[in-house]
Structure 1
């Protein structure tokens, strides 16, 4: 354990020291969005991303500049954007104001503006699955929520709940504000990946969602689905080639800090509805054509009787 923590701390500190902070503007000053102001928010946040891209380019960070330039494209619907630090962004797929089913994706470790393209690809694949097939329901929207500073995969923070505890109030507030945008009675599904399941576990008691889906989870910090204290149906899945299966599902206090996240959500004692995710790895849950994506889409659409078990 000591070796793990030493490596987790030294590696990211060395990397951080080697990379200077990238300048960026403050986020656009906007009121919480409504259905009537969505387009105004999209325009303002795209403009802010374009400004951030220019500042990153002037600073010499071509990678960040390119990532932010893509976010600023006219086709992107940014509900929020913050280019400071590792960055935060929320992107919408579909007609959010008229959707009666909304899926919100919460990412895991190593997700930032630099890697946002990878995260949004999963959201885009889900939206295509929900709306791009014959007979599919077009009144769905998908939201990619990078609303917190995720931990690094090789870091001390990834094995503690600290970042999740910081993020949980923001996730609760975001979902509350989203209710003011969407159609009355719309059903929300929260799709949580990797460390994002820890975030969702911390936020769960206060979330107005129909379904809570745990993908590739190292644990939620709860010993059972009942301990999450949520009215949502709790689902869990893990691909056959997902390395998180080898992570010890334990929790212990070490020098005053909680390390690990407890019970495996796939274990019978946890009590989640376990569904098939196929042979994929840790980053494959939204891969087009995969059993996991098909089952996730069924959950979002409320077709729970069609979900296939593991």
Structure 2
């Protein structure tokens, strides 16, 4: 591994490990004084806004080959995204667009192209509120970590539910995120959609992000319903109560009206000074009701 001291006294010391093992070893040695850095777009935003202090040491993981690229197992429909894969690479990948189209659409909506060229899928996930998360949650995502001694696998939904309260994960290195394509039942049609609602077009926290995946059988009944929401400082999650209610129901006006009311009741976003909770609830419900109406027609 190599290191270089920066010319400005306030700047951190930068380390350049060549392998994941070296990176994890450095983190163990530096403790809270060292922070893993990939594209650095999120870290810089946090420093400039005062949400986090600049650390004394940065562990640059950008050159670690093990964290790069996409691996696809066609037989199982499973794709493994290296944590250092940039949002631009995801956005422009024909394989991703074919297999995981919601992730392609999510990557397109995040920040500006210059940011997407640097920002990584790993960084977007570890922010806990990244706009890619609702799209990822549709595909049964699993996080793969290096914990210093062995590999560790953890469903993304489990990690999101505990990450804020239990920050021990910050001592581990995220290696990849694996996704699985939903199986398509015979004689059914799949409908998917991703939406991001914001106060303006670029580089602003979203008001609501919603990902939607359903199948309709020949009788126009709903199968394999998956709904995920996030936005702003809301930790993204699936709305499983609503999903279970919809399975087997006909895609008609009555059900669409009922699901609108259920989302308003069960979705619990975080509000802020600009957008209240009530608006976020109605925006999320309108997005899903609209997509159900399109699918039913």
| Same-fold status (TM-score > 0.5) | no
Query: Radius of gyration: which is bigger?
Result: 2
Report the structure, 1 or 2, having the larger strand content: 2
TM-score where L is the length of structure 2: 0.29
TM-score where L is the length of structure 1: 0.28
